[in-house]
Amino acid sequence: MRILVVQLTRLGEHEVAAVSRVLEVCLGAEVTVIPEPRPPPIVFYDWGRMQYRSDRVLEWLGRLSHFEGLVLALGDVDAYVPGLNFVFGQADPSAGVAAVYTKRLKMGITSIDRYLERLSKEALHEVGHLLGLGHCRDKRCVMSFSNHVGEVDYKNAMFCKRCAAQLKSSGLRVDCILPEG
């Protein structure tokens, strides 16, 4: 499986490395990073909310990409979709594109390690959606829905047995599986 990482804003090498590492280790992905940022068009920015419209960013990414694989965008911005106050990320499996927005992942951060852990979990979560997984009821599973950063902190950067089995049934390699219990 090939994944292209696109920076919507310039991120630190440690951020891109953490995301690349979790995708390589957990899913055996071949990750390619575009080194220069590709900012989304400013028309997708809602000045009243001070947030990007994530659904429009994903549409733009889908039109932009000619990559033979999945596309994961990362940006140090805040985003939302209509009906929600914000999203940590969003995926469009039909287009093979997803995005993770880091602004809210930095909330209450006491260490860079905690932030990188949150970022890695959300990147793995969105790629999980691209691979056909929905939200999981197991709050420890990376595929559980997170309403706030506390829920991101609680879950693991691993798939529960049920989600892992679903990925494996599609012929995918899954190396990050929660232990029983």
| Active-site residue list | 126
Distances (CA, A) of 51 to 94, 173, 175: 24, 35, 35
Which residues have C-beta within 8 Å of that of residue 88, sequence separation ≥ 6?
100, 101, 104, 105, 122, 146, 152
How large is the C-alpha radius of gyration of the chain? 15
